Structure 1
Amino acid sequence: HTVSARWPASHPFYTQRSSRFSPLLFTETVRQALGLLAHTAYNVPPDYRMGWDSYRSSVDPEALRAHSGFSDVVLTVRHRSHKARRPGGPVRLMAEVDAVRDGAYLGTAEIHYTAFPPALYDRLRGGRTDSRTAFAEALRPEAPVPAHLVHRVRTGDVVLSPTPEENIWQLRTETSHRVLFDHPHDHVPGMVLLEAAHQASLLTVGSGEAQFTGARFD
């Protein structure tokens, strides 16, 4: 399948100080494309909940340069596996993605993910699936690490708080953030966790314009 996307000249969250897009914008594009295809190409019901089991990606840093005007991103998605154990049960999928931006190579990704029916998802979450209740009960975020240390301008874009221990940070869940929490969730979104890993990497590397060209989790 082929999925088209359009990137803006600048993104309010995923544009870095170096005038490049974060590689996580590619990840977010892949995430949205897989959600679209799961429902339209593989008939996964719209009330099923998606969960990623593993993810790895690689991007060309030159293809992440921001420039004036919109740019067209085209994803070629191949699902190598699509299994449902029984009718009404979870659906397990594995996808490989190749992407180009304005005709030039952008990156690749491989994702193993599962679509959970509502009843199973509720059991897995122990009944804690009310997103509005979860938002209302979310802990108030602690003070962030200095924004410039994670290449950010706005403190609201920082997802880590310092701790007394070296190279250990606390996750900040700023539920009012319009990109990371664009709607209520019953859990911390995976993109927030990936951004936290990204910022922790920057804190570990130290000063300078470090470039990250991929992501992986299992």
Structure 2
Amino acid sequence: MTPHAAPETSSAPAELSFGRTVDRSLVHRTAVSEVFVTDVQQLAARKVRTAVQLPLTHGYYSDHLQRPAVFDALLLLESGRQAAIAGSHVFMGLAPNTMMIVDRFRFSLDQPGGLTIGTKPGHIRIDTAYDGKINKRGRVRNGQVAQRYFVGDTEVATHEMDVLFLNPHENEVLRHSQRGTPAPMTSDFGDHGPGGDGSRQVPAHEVGRANPLNVVLSRAERFGERVGAEVTPRFDNRALFDHEYDHLPAMTLVEAARQLALLGSGEPLGTYAVGFEAGFSRFAELDDVVRAEAPRAVPLDGRGEVPVRFVQDGNEIAQVTVTVATKEAL
């Protein structure tokens, strides 16, 4: 990412357009249907404004049994990811083949009541600010992204990410340093992925889902005040796996954390995920079991935090703390 020297804009930015999505390559998506960004404008040297349309119906993001129905927190998180990538390509000089690897992030849905699903798609404005140190080659290798989400003039959410910007060679070196051997691809496995034949999949309603395709947990166990499960997403779920991967992407682990938090709540149909704080120390490999564990937390005063720990081959690879709320606390 090479920063531009553009000054602050001297006039108000043009009105954002929600008429059509941007080119799918700008948000690293294969399917046009998985693109939610509709416009990107530069506000300053390291700041962009993005328009996002949230779909009324979507096979993954709309598949929730909680009522009232609100736009999914993970849909907003994915929209922020897309906004950050699109802005970095269009205005921040990020090369087309550069990967944005998330190290840590924090997302807070501060006004979920303003995101109730009605009769029209949701229109979101996301303001994104970039920060990072420039290396000797004029690139930003490590960076921070800060985002504010607005519905009209009301701020509804915030999102912060620590990221690595890697070209394909740098990513290959990083992967080899962790594995020591070439990593398999999702295309090397069947639709269910390793260990996910569906025989011990968690029932969809127990994690607030209607469609079993969207369940990413199996072999759940409850022991005392804790709950655990294996992370076994379906590789034919094209919202989670829009293209080939050589690991379980961060968004899949966040979905697993959400489902485990709902499973442990005992009230999955009346509990909403409204925030996430995550750190990723290693890639989640495809050819070994990933297990998630968490306390069985009951929200106090309608709100609570559930720390979810992910372990693979005896090593902790990620932590995701899920903030949950009852419908009365939205």
Report if TM-score (shorter chain) is over 0.5.
yes
Contiguous gaps of at least 5 residues in structure 2? 1-47, 280-330
Task: Normalising by structure 2, report the TM-score.
Answer: 0.61
The aligned runs of 1:34-49 (5 Å cut-off) are 34-49=84-99
Equivalent of residue 62 in structure 1, options 113, 137, 140: 113
Select the structure that is richer in helix: 1
Counterpart residue type for residue 170 of structure 2? L
2:200 corresponds to 1:174: no
Contact 2:134–2:140 at 8 Å: present in 1 too? yes
Contact 1:122–1:128 at 8 Å: present in 2 too? no
The alpha-carbon deviation at position 129 of structure 1 amounts to 6.1
Hey, what does 2:218 align to over in structure 1? 161
Contact 1:128–1:186 at 8 Å: present in 2 too? no
The alpha-carbon deviation at position 9 of structure 1 amounts to 1.8
**C-alpha separation between the residues in 1 aligned to 2:152 and 2:218?**
38
**C-alpha separation between the residues in 1 aligned to 2:222 and 2:174?**
32
Select the structure that is richer in strand: 2
Secondary structure of 2:119's partner? coil
Q: Quick one: structure 1 residues 30 and 117, their matched pair in 2 at CA, closer, same or farther if it must change by over 3 Å?
A: same
Equivalent of residue 272 in structure 2, options 198, 204, 211: 211
Q: Quick one: structure 1 residues 103 and 7, their matched pair in 2 at CA, closer, same or farther if it must change by over 3 Å?
A: farther
The alpha-carbon deviation at position 91 of structure 1 amounts to 1.8
Higher deviation after alignment, 12-21 or 26-35: 12-21
Hey, what does 1:145 align to over in structure 2? 202
2:77 corresponds to 1:27: yes
Contact 1:23–1:64 at 8 Å: present in 2 too? no
Contact 1:142–1:161 at 8 Å: present in 2 too? no
Q: Quick one: structure 1 residues 209 and 147, their matched pair in 2 at CA, closer, same or farther if it must change by over 3 Å?
A: same
**C-alpha separation between the residues in 2 aligned to 1:169 and 1:33?**
32
2:54 corresponds to 1:7: yes
Q: Quick one: structure 1 residues 205 and 165, their matched pair in 2 at CA, closer, same or farther if it must change by over 3 Å?
A: closer
Task: Normalising by structure 1, report the TM-score.
Answer: 0.90
Contiguous gaps of at least 5 residues in structure 1? none
**C-alpha separation between the residues in 1 aligned to 2:234 and 2:160?**
29
CA root-mean-square deviation? 2.0
Secondary structure of 1:168's partner? strand
Equivalent of residue 158 in structure 2, options 76, 97, 108: 108
Q: Quick one: structure 1 residues 213 and 156, their matched pair in 2 at CA, closer, same or farther if it must change by over 3 Å?
A: same
**C-alpha separation between the residues in 2 aligned to 1:134 and 1:181?**
9
The alpha-carbon deviation at position 148 of structure 1 amounts to 0.3
Counterpart residue type for residue 117 of structure 2? A
Secondary structure of 1:211's partner? strand
**C-alpha separation between the residues in 1 aligned to 2:253 and 2:277?**
12
Secondary structure of 2:273's partner? coil
Secondary structure of 1:24's partner? helix
**C-alpha separation between the residues in 2 aligned to 1:129 and 1:76?**
36
Q: Quick one: structure 1 residues 174 and 88, their matched pair in 2 at CA, closer, same or farther if it must change by over 3 Å?
A: farther
**C-alpha separation between the residues in 2 aligned to 1:154 and 1:97?**
31
Hey, what does 2:318 align to over in structure 1? none
Contact 1:82–1:93 at 8 Å: present in 2 too? yes
Hey, what does 2:288 align to over in structure 1? none
Hey, what does 1:128 align to over in structure 2? 182
Q: Quick one: structure 1 residues 102 and 9, their matched pair in 2 at CA, closer, same or farther if it must change by over 3 Å?
A: farther
The alpha-carbon deviation at position 11 of structure 1 amounts to 2.5
| Identity among equivalent pairs (%) | 25
